[in-house]
Amino acid sequence: MIIRLVKIWSEKFGEAWTACMLCMVQGDFTAMTVSHALTASKTGALTGIGCVIASFISPNRNRVTDAFVTGLVTSAADIMVHPSHFGLKMSESLLTGFCAASICYLLGDKKWQNPL
């Protein structure tokens, strides 16, 4: 049980951290700083905690709902951690959530793929 929860937390941390970092620097890898990494770590940690809690609410998940929950929780965590760096107040957090959901769907557990 603990190993499963740690696995969920670490996967969601990585997905959210990557998405947050990419959105904060707007794709400019040369702009990455330690401050960006710490901010992305906060977003990733909150996302991991939120997804672990969500795993108790809905233990039977599929690939699409997993990606949706990851994106939703990442958006919420991102808006709590820092203000938007571009556009409207929630634009960066929504983009970060979309990126995290995409990463989750594309690189997530392959057992959810349709074999056809």
pLDDT in tens, 40-58: 999 999 999 999 999 888 7
Q: Alpha-carbon distance 98 to 83, whole Å?
A: 17
Q: How many CA atoms lie within 13 A of 39 on its CB side?
A: 22
Read off the pLDDT of residues 61-84 as tens digits, 9 standing for 90 and up: 788 889 999 999 999 999 999 877
Q: Alpha-carbon distance 51 to 36, whole Å?
A: 22
Residue 113 scores a pLDDT above 50: no
Residue 90 scores a pLDDT above 90: no
User: Considering the entire predicted model, what is its pTM?
Assistant: 0.86
Query: Is pLDDT larger for residue 115 or for residue 27?
Result: 27
Residue 12 scores a pLDDT above 60: yes
